Protein backbone atom coordinates (compact mmCIF):
# COMPACT_ATOMS: atom_id res chain seq x y z
CA UNK A 1 0.00 0.00 0.00
CA UNK A 2 1.45 3.34 -0.99
CA UNK A 3 2.25 5.99 1.59
CA UNK A 4 -0.30 8.75 1.88
CA UNK A 5 1.13 12.31 1.67
CA UNK A 6 -0.83 13.28 4.81
CA UNK A 7 -0.37 12.22 8.44
CA UNK A 8 -3.32 9.82 8.18
CA UNK A 9 -3.84 7.62 11.23
CA UNK A 10 -6.69 5.63 9.72
CA UNK A 11 -5.93 2.70 7.42
CA UNK A 12 -8.68 0.44 6.16
CA UNK A 13 -8.63 -2.68 4.04
CA UNK A 14 -11.74 -2.59 1.90
CA UNK A 15 -13.05 -5.10 -0.62
CA UNK A 16 -15.32 -3.84 -3.37
CA UNK A 17 -19.03 -4.00 -2.58
CA UNK A 18 -22.02 -2.67 -4.46
CA UNK A 19 -23.91 0.45 -3.48
CA UNK A 20 -26.91 -1.75 -2.78
CA UNK A 21 -24.88 -3.78 -0.27
CA UNK A 22 -23.90 -0.61 1.57
CA UNK A 23 -27.55 0.48 1.73
CA UNK A 24 -29.00 1.91 4.86
CA UNK A 25 -27.96 3.01 7.46
CA UNK A 26 -25.22 4.84 5.52
CA UNK A 27 -27.88 5.55 2.88
CA UNK A 28 -27.72 5.45 -0.90
CA UNK A 29 -25.13 7.26 -2.99
CA UNK A 30 -25.75 10.75 -4.30
CA UNK A 31 -24.25 10.40 -7.75
CA UNK A 32 -23.45 14.09 -8.15
CA UNK A 33 -21.55 14.13 -4.83
CA UNK A 34 -19.88 10.82 -5.67
CA UNK A 35 -18.69 12.32 -8.96
CA UNK A 36 -17.18 15.27 -7.12
CA UNK A 37 -15.47 12.97 -4.62
CA UNK A 38 -13.99 11.15 -7.59
CA UNK A 39 -12.62 14.47 -8.90
CA UNK A 40 -10.91 15.13 -5.59
CA UNK A 41 -9.63 11.57 -5.63
CA UNK A 42 -8.18 12.03 -9.12
CA UNK A 43 -6.55 15.34 -8.17
CA UNK A 44 -4.85 13.65 -5.24
CA UNK A 45 -3.22 11.07 -7.51
CA UNK A 46 -0.66 13.52 -8.88
CA UNK A 47 2.78 12.52 -7.55
CA UNK A 48 4.71 14.77 -5.21
CA UNK A 49 1.94 17.27 -4.46
CA UNK A 50 1.22 19.10 -1.24
CA UNK A 51 -2.55 18.54 -1.13
CA UNK A 52 -3.30 21.57 1.01
CA UNK A 53 -1.43 23.89 -1.33
CA UNK A 54 -2.14 22.31 -4.70
CA UNK A 55 -4.50 24.50 -6.73
CA UNK A 56 -6.33 21.62 -8.42
CA UNK A 57 -6.90 19.79 -5.14
CA UNK A 58 -8.07 22.91 -3.34
CA UNK A 59 -10.48 23.79 -6.15
CA UNK A 60 -12.04 20.33 -6.16
CA UNK A 61 -12.26 20.20 -2.37
CA UNK A 62 -14.06 23.56 -2.30
CA UNK A 63 -16.52 22.27 -4.90
CA UNK A 64 -17.08 19.12 -2.87
CA UNK A 65 -17.57 21.06 0.36
CA UNK A 66 -20.39 23.06 -1.23
CA UNK A 67 -22.03 20.11 -2.97
CA UNK A 68 -23.98 18.85 0.06
CA UNK A 69 -24.59 19.36 3.75
CA UNK A 70 -21.90 18.36 6.22
CA UNK A 71 -23.61 15.20 7.44
CA UNK A 72 -24.32 14.15 3.87
CA UNK A 73 -20.67 14.66 2.92
CA UNK A 74 -19.56 12.26 5.66
CA UNK A 75 -22.05 9.67 4.44
CA UNK A 76 -20.97 10.02 0.84
CA UNK A 77 -17.24 9.74 1.61
CA UNK A 78 -17.99 6.58 3.60
CA UNK A 79 -19.97 5.18 0.67
CA UNK A 80 -17.11 6.04 -1.68
CA UNK A 81 -14.60 4.20 0.50
CA UNK A 82 -16.88 1.18 0.80
CA UNK A 83 -17.80 0.85 -2.87
CA UNK A 84 -14.82 1.92 -4.96
CA UNK A 85 -12.16 -0.57 -6.03
CA UNK A 86 -8.48 0.22 -6.39
CA UNK A 87 -5.14 -1.52 -6.57
CA UNK A 88 -4.06 -2.41 -3.04
CA UNK A 89 -7.13 -0.55 -1.77
CA UNK A 90 -5.27 2.77 -1.79
CA UNK A 91 -8.58 4.57 -2.31
CA UNK A 92 -9.42 4.03 1.36
CA UNK A 93 -6.44 6.07 2.53
CA UNK A 94 -7.41 8.74 0.03
CA UNK A 95 -10.99 8.71 1.34
CA UNK A 96 -9.68 9.44 4.83
CA UNK A 97 -7.51 12.21 3.38
CA UNK A 98 -10.61 13.68 1.73
CA UNK A 99 -12.41 13.78 5.08
CA UNK A 100 -9.43 15.63 6.54
CA UNK A 101 -9.30 18.09 3.65
CA UNK A 102 -13.01 18.81 4.02
CA UNK A 103 -12.18 19.95 7.56
CA UNK A 104 -15.68 19.22 8.85
CA UNK A 105 -16.56 19.84 12.49
CA UNK A 106 -16.12 16.57 14.45
CA UNK A 107 -19.75 16.82 15.57
CA UNK A 108 -20.93 16.02 12.05
CA UNK A 109 -18.71 12.99 11.60
CA UNK A 110 -19.58 11.72 15.08
CA UNK A 111 -23.29 12.19 14.49
CA UNK A 112 -23.19 10.25 11.22
CA UNK A 113 -20.80 7.44 12.12
CA UNK A 114 -21.58 6.83 15.81
CA UNK A 115 -24.45 4.39 15.16
CA UNK A 116 -22.29 2.27 12.83
CA UNK A 117 -19.45 1.26 15.11
CA UNK A 118 -21.01 -2.20 15.07
CA UNK A 119 -22.60 -2.12 11.60
CA UNK A 120 -23.04 -5.48 9.87
CA UNK A 121 -21.25 -4.15 6.81
CA UNK A 122 -17.55 -4.61 7.53
CA UNK A 123 -16.36 -1.67 5.47
CA UNK A 124 -18.78 0.77 7.07
CA UNK A 125 -18.02 -0.61 10.54
CA UNK A 126 -14.25 -0.32 10.04
CA UNK A 127 -14.47 3.19 8.61
CA UNK A 128 -16.44 4.31 11.66
CA UNK A 129 -14.22 2.58 14.19
CA UNK A 130 -10.97 3.75 12.65
CA UNK A 131 -12.17 7.34 12.37
CA UNK A 132 -13.02 7.31 16.07
CA UNK A 133 -9.68 5.68 16.93
CA UNK A 134 -7.86 8.45 15.07
CA UNK A 135 -10.03 11.13 16.66
CA UNK A 136 -9.28 9.88 20.16
CA UNK A 137 -5.54 9.79 19.42
CA UNK A 138 -5.12 7.14 22.11
CA UNK A 139 -3.97 4.54 19.61
CA UNK A 140 -1.14 6.66 18.24
CA UNK A 141 1.11 6.46 21.31
CA UNK A 142 3.69 3.67 21.47
CA UNK A 143 2.90 1.01 24.09
CA UNK A 144 4.09 2.04 27.53
CA UNK A 145 4.47 5.72 26.70
CA UNK A 146 3.08 8.26 29.17
CA UNK A 147 -0.44 9.53 28.52
CA UNK A 148 0.60 13.12 27.89
CA UNK A 149 -2.39 13.72 25.63
CA UNK A 150 -5.62 12.33 27.13
CA UNK A 151 -8.27 10.57 25.12
CA UNK A 152 -10.32 13.24 23.35
CA UNK A 153 -13.87 13.02 24.71
CA UNK A 154 -14.79 16.71 24.62
CA UNK A 155 -16.56 16.31 21.28
CA UNK A 156 -18.39 13.27 22.62
CA UNK A 157 -19.84 15.34 25.44
CA UNK A 158 -21.24 17.78 22.90
CA UNK A 159 -22.69 14.90 20.88
CA UNK A 160 -24.38 13.23 23.86
CA UNK A 161 -25.75 16.57 25.07
CA UNK A 162 -27.23 17.08 21.60
CA UNK A 163 -28.83 13.65 21.65
CA UNK A 164 -30.33 14.20 25.10
CA UNK A 165 -31.58 17.71 24.27
CA UNK A 166 -33.31 16.39 21.15
CA UNK A 167 -34.72 13.34 22.96
CA UNK A 168 -32.69 10.99 20.77
CA UNK A 169 -31.12 7.82 22.10
CA UNK A 170 -27.35 7.54 22.27
CA UNK A 171 -26.44 4.61 19.98
CA UNK A 172 -25.47 1.56 22.05
CA UNK A 173 -22.50 0.89 19.78
CA UNK A 174 -21.14 4.36 20.54
CA UNK A 175 -21.64 3.97 24.30
CA UNK A 176 -19.90 0.61 24.22
CA UNK A 177 -17.00 2.03 22.24
CA UNK A 178 -16.26 4.97 24.53
CA UNK A 179 -16.56 2.86 27.69
CA UNK A 180 -14.20 0.23 26.35
CA UNK A 181 -11.69 2.91 25.39
CA UNK A 182 -11.78 5.05 28.54
CA UNK A 183 -14.47 4.12 31.11
CA UNK A 184 -13.63 6.97 33.48
CA UNK A 185 -13.98 9.62 30.82
CA UNK A 186 -17.13 7.97 29.48
CA UNK A 187 -18.68 8.08 32.95
CA UNK A 188 -17.90 11.78 33.28
CA UNK A 189 -19.24 12.53 29.80
CA UNK A 190 -22.60 11.01 30.69
CA UNK A 191 -22.59 12.61 34.14
CA UNK A 192 -22.04 16.07 32.67
CA UNK A 193 -24.47 15.57 29.80
CA UNK A 194 -27.24 14.48 32.17
CA UNK A 195 -26.67 17.25 34.71
CA UNK A 196 -28.38 20.00 32.71
CA UNK A 197 -32.00 18.93 33.07
CA UNK A 198 -34.74 20.56 31.02
CA UNK A 199 -32.80 23.42 29.44
CA UNK A 200 -35.82 24.53 27.40
CA UNK A 201 -38.00 25.11 30.47
CA UNK A 202 -35.21 26.95 32.27
CA UNK A 203 -34.75 29.26 29.27
CA UNK A 204 -38.49 29.90 29.13
CA UNK A 205 -38.50 30.94 32.79
CA UNK A 206 -35.45 33.17 32.32
CA UNK A 207 -36.95 34.80 29.23
CA UNK A 208 -40.28 35.43 30.92
CA UNK A 209 -38.55 36.94 33.96
CA UNK A 210 -36.47 39.21 31.71
CA UNK A 211 -39.66 40.45 30.07
CA UNK A 212 -41.22 41.29 33.42
CA UNK A 213 -43.79 38.52 33.32
CA UNK A 214 -43.06 37.21 36.82
CA UNK A 215 -46.07 35.49 38.35
CA UNK A 216 -46.33 33.35 41.50
CA UNK A 217 -46.61 30.28 39.28
CA UNK A 218 -43.54 31.32 37.29
CA UNK A 219 -41.60 32.00 40.49
CA UNK A 220 -42.52 28.56 41.87
CA UNK A 221 -41.54 26.87 38.62
CA UNK A 222 -38.23 28.72 38.57
CA UNK A 223 -37.43 27.69 42.14
CA UNK A 224 -38.31 24.07 41.40
CA UNK A 225 -36.09 24.03 38.34
CA UNK A 226 -33.21 25.67 40.22
CA UNK A 227 -33.50 23.24 43.13
CA UNK A 228 -33.44 20.34 40.68
CA UNK A 229 -30.42 21.82 38.93
CA UNK A 230 -28.50 22.14 42.20
CA UNK A 231 -29.39 18.55 43.11
CA UNK A 232 -28.06 17.35 39.76
CA UNK A 233 -24.85 19.33 40.22
CA UNK A 234 -24.35 17.77 43.64
CA UNK A 235 -24.90 14.33 42.15
CA UNK A 236 -22.39 15.10 39.41
CA UNK A 237 -19.78 16.16 41.96
CA UNK A 238 -20.30 12.88 43.83
CA UNK A 239 -19.75 10.96 40.60
CA UNK A 240 -16.65 13.01 39.79
CA UNK A 241 -15.26 12.28 43.25
CA UNK A 242 -15.99 8.57 42.89
CA UNK A 243 -14.22 8.42 39.52
CA UNK A 244 -11.23 10.26 40.97
CA UNK A 245 -10.93 7.84 43.90
CA UNK A 246 -11.17 4.79 41.65
CA UNK A 247 -8.75 6.23 39.08
CA UNK A 248 -6.26 7.02 41.81
CA UNK A 249 -6.33 3.40 43.03
CA UNK A 250 -5.83 2.12 39.48
CA UNK A 251 -2.92 4.51 38.97
CA UNK A 252 -1.23 3.21 42.12
CA UNK A 253 -1.40 -0.41 41.07
CA UNK A 254 -0.34 0.38 37.49
CA UNK A 255 2.70 2.27 38.72
CA UNK A 256 3.98 -0.42 41.04
CA UNK A 257 2.88 0.96 44.39
CA UNK A 258 1.16 -2.09 45.90
CA UNK A 259 1.24 -0.89 49.50
CA UNK A 260 -0.43 2.39 48.65
CA UNK A 261 -2.90 0.57 46.44
CA UNK A 262 -3.91 -1.64 49.36
CA UNK A 263 -4.55 1.51 51.39
CA UNK A 264 -6.60 3.10 48.60
CA UNK A 265 -8.53 -0.01 47.55
CA UNK A 266 -11.23 0.01 50.30
CA UNK A 267 -12.32 3.53 49.36
CA UNK A 268 -12.28 2.65 45.65
CA UNK A 269 -14.42 -0.44 46.23
CA UNK A 270 -16.80 1.61 48.37
CA UNK A 271 -17.30 4.08 45.52
CA UNK A 272 -17.79 1.28 43.00
CA UNK A 273 -20.49 -0.22 45.22
CA UNK A 274 -22.28 3.12 45.39
CA UNK A 275 -22.13 3.58 41.62
CA UNK A 276 -23.39 0.03 41.05
CA UNK A 277 -26.51 0.88 43.04
CA UNK A 278 -27.37 3.92 40.95
CA UNK A 279 -30.39 3.84 38.66
CA UNK A 280 -28.48 5.29 35.68
CA UNK A 281 -27.25 2.51 33.43
CA UNK A 282 -24.20 4.54 32.48
CA UNK A 283 -22.99 4.55 36.10
CA UNK A 284 -23.37 0.77 36.38
CA UNK A 285 -21.71 0.40 32.98
CA UNK A 286 -18.64 2.13 34.38
CA UNK A 287 -18.45 -0.29 37.30
CA UNK A 288 -18.76 -3.29 34.99
CA UNK A 289 -15.97 -2.01 32.72
CA UNK A 290 -13.66 -1.17 35.62
CA UNK A 291 -14.17 -4.52 37.34
CA UNK A 292 -13.65 -6.40 34.09
CA UNK A 293 -10.49 -4.46 33.23
CA UNK A 294 -9.15 -4.50 36.82
CA UNK A 295 -10.01 -7.79 38.54
CA UNK A 296 -8.18 -6.57 41.65
CA UNK A 297 -11.14 -4.24 42.21
CA UNK A 298 -13.79 -6.86 41.47
CA UNK A 299 -16.23 -7.63 44.28
CA UNK A 300 -18.18 -10.89 44.06
CA UNK A 301 -21.69 -9.74 44.97
CA UNK A 302 -21.43 -6.55 42.91
CA UNK A 303 -20.10 -8.47 39.93
CA UNK A 304 -22.91 -11.00 40.13
CA UNK A 305 -25.43 -8.15 40.26
CA UNK A 306 -23.93 -6.60 37.13
CA UNK A 307 -23.95 -9.92 35.29
CA UNK A 308 -27.74 -9.97 35.78
CA UNK A 309 -28.33 -6.27 35.13
CA UNK A 310 -31.52 -5.34 33.26
CA UNK A 311 -29.51 -3.22 30.81
CA UNK A 312 -27.98 -5.16 27.92
CA UNK A 313 -24.89 -2.98 27.66
CA UNK A 314 -24.09 -3.48 31.34
CA UNK A 315 -24.45 -7.26 31.11
CA UNK A 316 -22.32 -7.34 27.96
CA UNK A 317 -19.61 -5.33 29.74
CA UNK A 318 -19.12 -8.18 32.21
CA UNK A 319 -18.32 -10.67 29.44
CA UNK A 320 -14.72 -11.44 28.45
CA UNK A 321 -13.64 -9.58 25.33
Is the pLDDT score of 139 beyond 90?
no
pLDDT category, 146, cuts 50, 70, 90? low
At 186-217, the pLDDT tens digits run: 999 999 998 876 555 555 555 656 666 666 76
- For the whole model, what pTM was predicted? 0.77
Name the band, by pLDDT with cuts 50, 70 and 90, for residue 267.
very high
More confident residue, 228 or 1: 228
Per-residue HEC secondary structure of the chain comes to CCCCCCCCCCCCCCCCCCHHHHCCCCCCCCHHHHHHHHHHHHHCCCCCCCCCCCHHHHHHHHHHHCCCCHHHHHHHHHHHHHHCCCHHHHHHHHHHHHHHHHCCCHHHHHHHHHHHCCCCCHHHHHHHHHHHHHHHCHHHCCCCCCCCCCCCCHHHHHHHHHHHHCCCCCCHHHHHHHHHHCHHHHHHHHHHHCCCCCHHHHHHHHHHHHCCCCCHHHHHHHHHHHHHHHHHHHHHHHHHHHHHHHHHHHHHHHCCCHHHHHHHHHHHHHHHHHHHCCCCHHHHHHHHHHHHHCHHHCCHHHHHHHHCCCCHHHHHHCCCC
Banded pLDDT at 40 (limits 50, 70, 90): very high
**Between 160 and 90, where is the model more confident?**
160
For residue range 305-319, list pLDDT tens digits in order.
Answer: 999 999 999 999 999
Tell me what the pLDDT averaged over the chain comes to: 82
CA dihedral 150, 153, 155, 161 (to 10 degrees): -150
All structural domains of the chain with their residue ranges: 19-139, 156-317
The rounded distance, in Å, linking the Cα atoms of 19 and 249 is 50
Residues 269-290 have pLDDT tens digits of 999 999 999 999 999 999 999 9
Which percentage of the chain shows pLDDT scores above 70?
77
pLDDT band at 174 (very low <50, low <70, confident <90, very high): very high
Amino acid sequence: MRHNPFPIAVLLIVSGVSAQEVGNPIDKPDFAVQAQIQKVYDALQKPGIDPRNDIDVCREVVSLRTSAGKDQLVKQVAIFAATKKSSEDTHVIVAQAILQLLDLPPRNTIRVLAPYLDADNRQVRDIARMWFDAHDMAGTRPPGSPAIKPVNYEDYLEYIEWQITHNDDVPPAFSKYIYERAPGRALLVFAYANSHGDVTKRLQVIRAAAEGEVTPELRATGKKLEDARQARLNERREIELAEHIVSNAIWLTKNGLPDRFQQAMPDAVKELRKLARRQEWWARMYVACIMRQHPELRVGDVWEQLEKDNEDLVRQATKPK
